[in-house]
Amino acid sequence: MKRGVLVLFIIFIFSFIVFNVEAEINSVKICGTSYSCGDNSDGICPEDYTTQQCNSYDLDCGCITNEINYCNDNLDNDCDTNYDYDGSHDGSVKGDSDCPVSVNSISVSETNPVENTNIDVTCTTNAPRVYSISALISSAECTFISWQTDYQAKFSCNVGTQGTKTVTCTVQDGDYGLPDKSFQSGTDQTQQITVITLCPYTTEAECNSDSNCGWCPDCNNKQYNGAGDTCVPTGTCSYSCQVPECGALWDESVGGCPEDVCTDSTHLKVYEGSTELCICDDSTSTVIECNGLTCEETYPGYHLTGTCISDCITQDGSDVCGTCTPQLNDCQCEAGWTDANQDPNDGCEAQCTPESTTDCCGDTIDNDCDGTVDNNCDSDGDGYIDSYIWERLPERLCPGIQ
């Protein structure tokens, strides 16, 4: 009797162990193994499925055939190469067709915005915090700001110029030139807006009669508003320096206006009549006109005439004018004097007695005392008498030149 009871106990223990081992095996679902699916046929995980993938499937029926209810686990559960709502988020792997994304509603912060301002657009979707929702105004994509809730994406959109426009919330499925990140269910959600001009007046009187507006002339001294005479919201009239608008000499990008600068990009440049003057402000606030100085004043006793051109030189203490030299071709010889030694640094050192009313060619002498030598003899500046003088005007050659 005792022996029979012991045998029955051993059989019971053995059956309990086998049952639990089978249960444990079925709960793990090793890939490539067939499992009972109750009323359904056996489900078999393909051999290339990983254990992790198999464990993510239905524990009663092995492998699943679609991703419905598995749209946010970052796994390709049905192994069709697409997964979740938006795959890899960046569009390199698309979302699964079993997990389409839809846009349920749209809202805008302003339906009559002023031109060139921004409005907020909120797109409500069926999928939480996906990367495939976009907002557009006409064909211009808006800037994503944040998720207001798990299902509401907020965008900032510039409305552009005046007119009636369509704001769209859509899914990035390849339309509108957007990436192809998700399958879309349903249609885009849209909202019409009318972009207005706050100050539509065309005359200065009408514009200034509205306290919200102000007349903006095209030029403010040498600065330009970029639009011509126009009416704009109060406080929004702005200017910049754009050559040659409004007589600007320098673009703002190089420090031009107000109102023009010298070539050192520090001091102002102005016009006196038709003469351009570079003005130096020194440490004692005195003004020195650098350009427009005469050669006679700059080089007294050098028998020079003409205008000496030089720029301001910025330095510690008082600024000074740069020194121009005769070799800059700023100065010429006074009548009756010539640069006999061809050295412009000592000016026109030789008094000249006219030998004729014109220069002959080849003797490097100022024969007519007009301050230059061999006038019109070397038109190309190569240091040689022009060939046409030798061939057709030999009388222009100086005696002894052949």
Of residues 375, 353, 379, 354, the one with CA closest to residue 364: 375
Please indicate, yes or no, whether residues 108 and 186 belong to a single structural domain of this protein.
yes
Confirm whether 139 is domain-assigned: yes
Please indicate, yes or no, whether residues 121 and 188 belong to a single structural domain of this protein.
yes
Please indicate, yes or no, whether residues 244 and 294 belong to a single structural domain of this protein.
no
> Digits of tens for pLDDT over the chain (402 positions)?
555 555 555 555 555 444 443 444 344 444 334 443 333 334 444 444 443 344 444 444 445 667 788 888 887 777 677 888 988 777 788 999 999 999 999 999 999 888 878 899 999 999 999 999 999 998 889 999 989 999 999 999 988 888 899 999 999 998 888 889 999 999 999 999 998 887 888 899 999 998 888 999 989 888 888 778 888 888 888 888 877 788 776 666 656 666 665 555 555 555 544 455 565 655 444 555 666 567 777 777 888 887 766 666 665 555 666 666 655 456 778 877 877 777 767 788 887 777 776 778 888 777 777 767 777 888 777 888 888 878 778 888 888 777
Please indicate, yes or no, whether residues 234 and 292 belong to a single structural domain of this protein.
no
Confirm whether 21 is domain-assigned: no
Domain boundary among 177, 195, 213: 195
The pLDDT score that the predictor gives to residue 279 is 59
pTM for the model stands at 0.43
Largest CA distance in the chain: 161
Please indicate, yes or no, whether residues 191 and 209 belong to a single structural domain of this protein.
no
Confirm whether 346 is domain-assigned: no
Confirm whether 6 is domain-assigned: no
- How far is Cα 162 from Cα 197, in angstroms, rounded to an integer? 6
The pLDDT score that the predictor gives to residue 129 is 92
Confirm whether 128 is domain-assigned: yes
Please indicate, yes or no, whether residues 152 and 224 belong to a single structural domain of this protein.
no
The pLDDT score that the predictor gives to residue 389 is 79
Phi, psi of 6 (to 5 degrees): -65, -40
Please indicate, yes or no, whether residues 107 and 184 belong to a single structural domain of this protein.
yes
Specify the CATH number for the domain of residue 146.
Answer: 2.60.40.10
Domain enclosing residue 379, as ranges: 353-402
Residue 395 tokens read as 């009388």
Q: How many domains are there within the chain?
A: 4
Report which residue type is found at 306.
G
Please indicate, yes or no, whether residues 277 and 327 belong to a single structural domain of this protein.
yes
Confirm whether 114 is domain-assigned: yes
β-bridge partners, 231: 215
The pLDDT score that the predictor gives to residue 311 is 62
- How far is Cα 312 from Cα 322, in angstroms, rounded to an integer? 6
Confirm whether 157 is domain-assigned: yes
Of residues 129, 183, 175, the one with CA closest to residue 153: 129
Confirm whether 15 is domain-assigned: no
The pLDDT score that the predictor gives to residue 49 is 41
Please indicate, yes or no, whether residues 175 and 127 belong to a single structural domain of this protein.
yes
Give Cβ neighbours of residue 235 (< 8 Å, ≥ 6 apart): 214
Contact 154, 180 (CB under 8 A): no
The pLDDT score that the predictor gives to residue 135 is 96
Output the CA torsion 5→7→10→12 (10° steps): -70
Please indicate, yes or no, whether residues 187 and 208 belong to a single structural domain of this protein.
no
